[in-house]
Amino acid sequence: MDRGTFRERIAVNRRNSVFLILLFLAFVAVFGYVIGYAWIGDPTGALFGLGLAFVVGTISGLVTYYGGDRMVLAASRAKQVTHEEAPVLFNVVEEMAIASGLTMPKVYVIEDSAPNAFATGRDPEHATVAATTGLLRKLDRDELQGVMAHEMSHVGNFDIRYAMLVGVLVGTTVLISDFFLRGLWFGGGRGGRSEGGGMVQLIMMVVAILLAVLAPLFARLLQLSISRQREYLADASAVRLTRNPKGLADALAKISGDREVLEAANRATAHLYIVNPVKSFEKRAKGIFSTHPPINERIDILRSMETGGIPETVG
């Protein structure tokens, strides 16, 4: 994995972000039109649903893009710290910022005994890294460096922006679906001036219900598949920064093996963390798809890098 390869993958991330926006807008247009037709019963009236979908999508997108990081940090009960308050963490983040050539991000700490960390923001100039107090207590400096290199890699690879865009996709889809289904429950979906028009509206109603039920699931699966691939890339990018795959491998082993429950994590923020914060033995783990690739695979890949090899599963 040479520098050119990393640059190519980062470029792919950026192109995928643009493609995701266009795909999202197209999906919202179709979804909104179908719902509008099913609700009102004629093609002209269906434009109301189209307009509503775009309004919801635009507002959701702007709020998430410019304020999503603050919402994530608030939900995680994270507190911004200074160099004097967390000198070791600050120094490590500074080292990785210099090594990656990126702007120094804001540094936050989460008061929680479970070791974990994440990065968020809309671009490298507006980025934040957050670590739990458990991570700072339980990891040595090399391991902490590996974790921060991983998070700074997410920043440099524009994964943080992509995560926000996918969050908009999932959140807006859920909002529109929920609005439509709740409307049906309270007696929505009237219209249709003729027998033929009524039949078309009935068909659109069935299609709209299917989309409303299945669309959030498909959007969530898209989010998970994207998150998994980007974790592998961030691991590899972190090794490029630290030249020490053992530090990150040992950190992942400690974090995944820790039995402490990260109370601040939830379904909306779980995919951001370096290791899935929802333990398999927790009640909230039921019904939640894994947002991360198998931890043993990630560790095996890093262990192989210690000896100069890269498993066939990478690349």
Active site residue 151: yes
3-state secondary structure of 86: coil
User: What tokens does 117 get?
Assistant: 């960390």
Phi-psi region of 243 (alpha: psi -120 to 50; beta: other; left: phi over 0): left
CA-to-CA distance for 25 and 37, rounded, in angstroms? 18
User: What tokens does 285 get?
Assistant: 């783990």
Pick the closest to residue 159 from 97, 239, 100, 233 (CA basis).
233
CA-to-CA distance for 161 and 67, rounded, in angstroms? 12
Handedness of CA 176, 162, 90, 117 (dihedral sign): positive
User: What tokens does 308 get?
Assistant: 């100069």
Distances (CA, A) of 15 to 22, 26, 155, 162: 11, 17, 16, 10
Residue 147: count other Cβ atoms within 10 Å of its Cβ. Answer: 29
Catalytic hit among 95, 143, 151, 195: 151
CA-to-CA distance for 47 and 277, rounded, in angstroms? 42
Strands 117-121 and 78-80: unpaired
CA max distance for the chain: 74
CA-to-CA distance for 172 and 163, rounded, in angstroms? 14
Residues marked active site are found at 151
